[in-house]
Amino acid sequence: MSTIRVLVGTKKGAFILTSDGKRTRWKVDGPHFGGWELYHLKGSPADPDRLYASQTSSWFGQVVQRSDDGGKTWNPPGTKPEDLMGPDGMPKGQSNMFLYDTSAETGKPLTTHQHYDGSQRPWEFKRVWHLEPSLSDPDTVYAGVEDAALFKSGDGGRTWQELAGLRSAKGHLWQPGAGGMCLHTIVLDRAHPDRIFVAISAAGTFRSDDAGKTWRPTNKGLASKYELPDPDAEVGHCVHCITMHPSRPNVLFMQKHWDVLRSDDAGDSWHEISGNLPSDFGFPIAVHAHEPNTVYVVPIKSDSEHYPPDGKLRVYRSRTGGNEWEGLTKGLPQQDCYVNILRDAMAVDQLDPCGLYFGTTGGQVYASADAGDNWMPIVRDLPPVLSVEVQTLP
């Protein structure tokens, strides 16, 4: 029987939740890296025992952790005894070194972005928001960072190089959202190995078709009338999350600051599919593992009230690719619930029926083993949940 492993990043450490394929009895392991913020953990699709984790602290900065045994043991890449020293005799220890590329050879990237007050500020690394392992190589992994940029490691996280062409895509007009100017979403495309989608707050979505060398904004159809009066603004949109089903790589779904949207042409254009949602504000968006037209969102009341409408925690499911949504409530609190679900905190497994998981800022991780019809909490009292990823193991 399959095993499900749920990787949970919280404000005070990481937790690993495991169950057999029935998904009714769970083992909770953790905290790992107790006291640190774990923005994101994710496993390699090419080697499920290879996990990457982003560990951060306002005091001590960024640490990247790697496990080669499914989360039993962890090391910052490049700090094991056998790879301690470089050829110059200096310690490597570069797994947390994210230097913005300022070389002329890679496109003379811009060195400033827009600040809240409209002034230009230099890029300054703060943390890794998202780690996206390659679909085919366990040693290749992408990191989305704040201030927004995309880095790539080809040596298992020991060293990182910026894919600097991204910042050339009108980077001088990007600006921080309330959570900072972060690259939070990375979507890889198995059907087009050189294609990468990213999303940035508050800049929008971007696509590369040449493995990250060059990029262009893909935000046509996004409307942000109070933030961006120009209806044709190419960048500056506060995209919260995008997702795709691997069987249909030209179809993307987006949860924006306001509005849920869909693209049928790989991001070239977008149209709204909010339909009958009680609120089209929210953070995560996910697609069913086996039904590419079944989409999930968790509506939040508003941008100034980050909790569910009416105190009722409801996941909304559309089986029609958007516009027609049904609220899923069985097992979820339907009164006095004022938690939020952050952008990286919802994921699906690959079993049939598809399992769906999300974590809340109240420390609960909820699971559904039947595509959202029924829910149960796996744990209730973790620190605020920042991210949830799921591995389906044979």
Partner 1 sequence: MIRVMLPTHLRTLARVDGEVTLRINGPVTQRAVLDALESRYPMLRGTIRDHVTHKRRPFVRFFACEQDLSHESPDTPLPDAVVTGAEPLLIVGAMAGG
Residues interacting with partner 1, by CB under 8 A?
Answer: 33-36, 57-63, 75-76, 78-79, 84, 90-94, 96-97, 99
Q: Which residue lies nearer to partner 1 by CB, 77 or 204?
A: 77
Nearest distance from C-beta of residue 93 to partner 1, angstroms: 3
Tell me the Ramachandran region of residue 23: left when phi exceeds 0, alpha when psi lies from -120 to 50, beta otherwise: left
Closest CA to 199 of 303, 270, 293: 270
Q: Which residue lies nearer to partner 1 by CB, 84 or 211?
A: 84
Q: Which residue lies nearer to partner 1 by CB, 36 or 253?
A: 36
Q: Which residue lies nearer to partner 1 by CB, 47 or 83?
A: 83
Q: Burial level of 46, CB count in 10 A (0-12/13-18/19+)?
A: middle
Residues 266, 218: Cα–Cα separation, whole Å: 9
CB-facing half-sphere around the CA of 276: CA atoms within 13 A: 8
In sign, the C-alpha dihedral spanning 79, 45, 354, 301 is positive
Nearest distance from C-beta of residue 92 to partner 1, angstroms: 6
Q: Which residue lies nearer to partner 1 by CB, 93 or 311?
A: 93
Q: Which residue lies nearer to partner 1 by CB, 63 or 242?
A: 63
Query: How far from chain centre, in Å, is Cα 188?
Result: 12
3 state SS of 173: helix
Q: Which residue lies nearer to partner 1 by CB, 59 or 226?
A: 59
Nearest distance from C-beta of residue 121 to partner 1, angstroms: 17
Nearest distance from C-beta of residue 84 to partner 1, angstroms: 6
Closest CA to 239 of 148, 332, 347, 334: 148
Residues 173, 227: Cα–Cα separation, whole Å: 13
Nearest distance from C-beta of residue 81 to partner 1, angstroms: 10
* Structure letter (DSSP) for residue 25: S
Tell me the Ramachandran region of residue 311: left when phi exceeds 0, alpha when psi lies from -120 to 50, beta otherwise: left
CB-facing half-sphere around the CA of 265: CA atoms within 13 A: 8
Nearest distance from C-beta of residue 31 to partner 1, angstroms: 11
Phi, psi of 156 (to 5 degrees): 70, 25
Nearest distance from C-beta of residue 62 to partner 1, angstroms: 7
Q: Which residue lies nearer to partner 1 by CB, 37 or 234?
A: 37
Nearest distance from C-beta of residue 35 to partner 1, angstroms: 6
Residue 168 CB: number of other CB atoms within 10 A? 16
